Amino acid sequence: MRKIILLNNISQNILGFRKHLIKFLIAHNYIVYAMATDYTDKTKQKVIDLGAIPVDYSFARGGLNPFADLKNMKQLEKIFKDIHPDILLSSFSKPVIFGTLAAKKAKVPKIIAMLEGLGYTFTEHPNGQSLKTKIIKYIQIFLYKIALPKADTIIFLNPDDPKDLLEKYHIKTKKQEILGAIGLNLNDYKYSPPPTDPISFIFIARLLREKGIFEFLQAAEKIKTKYPHVIFNVIGSLDTENPGGLKKDDLNYYMKNNIINYPGFVNNVDEWISKSSVFVLPSYYREGVPRSTQEAMAIGRPIITTDVPGCRETVINKKNGFLIPKWDVEALIEAMEYFIKDPKEVIHMGEESYQIALKKFDGDRINEKLLSIIEN
């Protein structure tokens, strides 16, 4: 049996986004090692229950401490030498950079790096980037130029990312692939016709500026004055320490004035999507392909999202929803009003979303494609 290491940053990503892949790889006679920096006894057991072997390692997700990063890279190299994997599949920026370099030194036979979106440092902001973000981006690009040429294959989820990273900054690689999305186990999401009486809109993401929460709330407040029966649901956790996070006082304002329903962070996201009419994500974050949007499509909901890398992969404009310009509250209101005035389009576009999800976001098909990339 061949050994493969899945190098991630946190266990939540393994249990949330790699569960289906782990089972798929095991079914294809792979021994799977799942590496994360924050395992607990509980999350380790969940990984073991999937059939994989959890492995701890140390790395700060962010920050600029080259001495700590080099020390942690040496630790990775030792782990790789001890395991003797046939393949390394790393995901997210730091694991991709330092995992690739460590794997090369450890003489791992095949090194695959997957960038699921370019992340915060490549995200455009309406008032421009801070000096700190610009410095981090410069260092990140410098490290990509060192690490990515050493990988056998670089996998992206959307076609914009290789243009904005590899082509723009002249980074040479051996091989590039566009996966399309991580995908879903579609059996976990049950299609249902959207409810339309009353019309409701749902936002699901961390409550951060770059995810579009401010545009969603502003649009909701304006829509409510004209259509008081329309419902707005917000699902996601506050991140008050993040400079772009929604403040608790602002959230309370929208709740006290009955503009939104806010149950907070929930474990039954699919049920909330099912009882909503339209899914909205006005994000301008450099996503790979947003998972929450894929989930909404699999359940059969029309989508309103931004015409930016990653997000635009989920919508055929005016077929299963609307692509709107980033930061444009009026365009968001216009798209919402379209569904309020013509509820039949909610049903029609929701069905189109479902059909697109079957074709583009079926995890089984995507895992077959990923396995083909890994083995060829």
For residue 99, what pLDDT is reported?
97
Closest of 340, 261, 265 to residue 302, by C-alpha: 340
Q: Would the CA dihedral through 190, 186, 354, 222 be positive or negative?
A: positive
Indicate the pairing of strand 303-306 with strand 278-281. Answer: parallel
Pick the CATH number of 186-360 from 3.90.1170.50, 3.30.70.20, 3.40.50.2000, 1.10.10.10: 3.40.50.2000
CA-to-CA separations, 26 to 23, 52, 179, in angstroms, rounded: 5, 8, 20
CA-to-CA separations, 303 to 217, 271, 291, 342, 366, in angstroms, rounded: 17, 17, 13, 15, 22
**What would the two tokens of residue 346 be?**
């909610």
CA angle 39, 296, 367 (to 5 degrees): 55
For residue 242, what pLDDT is reported?
85
For residues 258 and 281, what is the distance between their CA atoms, to the nearest angstrom?
A: 21
Indicate the pairing of strand 200-204 with strand 176-178. Answer: unpaired
For residues 222 and 336, what is the distance between their CA atoms, to the nearest angstrom?
A: 11
Question: Whole-model pTM?
Answer: 0.94
Would you list the domain boundaries of the chain? 2-183+363-375, 186-360
Closest of 210, 208, 252, 259 to residue 233, by C-alpha: 259
For residues 150 and 97, what is the distance between their CA atoms, to the nearest angstrom?
A: 10
For residue 59, what pLDDT is reported?
83
For residues 132 and 129, what is the distance between their CA atoms, to the nearest angstrom?
A: 8
Task: Tell me the one-letter amino acid at 181.
Answer: A
For residue 63, what pLDDT is reported?
64
**What would the two tokens of residue 365 be?**
């098909």
Q: 88-111: per-residue pLDDT in tens?
A: 999 999 999 999 999 999 999 999
Helix boundaries (H) for the chain: 11-17, 19-27, 41-50, 66-83, 93-105, 131-147, 160-162, 213-226, 248-256, 269-274, 291-299, 329-341, 343-360, 363-375
The domains spanning 2-183+363-375 and 186-360 adopt the same CATH topology: yes
**What would the two tokens of residue 87 be?**
């393949």
Burial 54-81 (b: 16+ CB within 10 A, else e): bbebebeeeeeeeeebeebbebbbebbe
Q: 119-165: per-residue pLDDT in tens?
A: 999 999 998 999 999 999 999 999 999 999 999 999 999 999 999 99
For residues 12 and 38, what is the distance between their CA atoms, to the nearest angstrom?
A: 9
For residue 11, what pLDDT is reported?
95
For residue 62, what pLDDT is reported?
63
- 207 φψ region: left (φ > 0), alpha (ψ -120 to 50), beta (else): beta
For residues 69 and 71, what is the distance between their CA atoms, to the nearest angstrom?
A: 5
- 292 φψ region: left (φ > 0), alpha (ψ -120 to 50), beta (else): alpha
Structural fold of domain 2-183+363-375: Rossmann fold (3.40.50)
What is the phi/psi pair of residue 363, to 5°?
-60, -35
Q: Are the beta carbons of 179 and 373 closer than 8 angstroms?
A: yes
Average confidence (pLDDT) per 10 residues, the chain, 376 residues: 96 94 97 97 98 93 76 96 98 96 98 96 93 94 98 98 98 97 94 97 96 98 98 93 90 97 92 97 96 98 98 98 98 98 98 98 97 94
Q: 41-70: per-residue pLDDT in tens?
A: 999 999 999 999 999 999 876 666 778 888
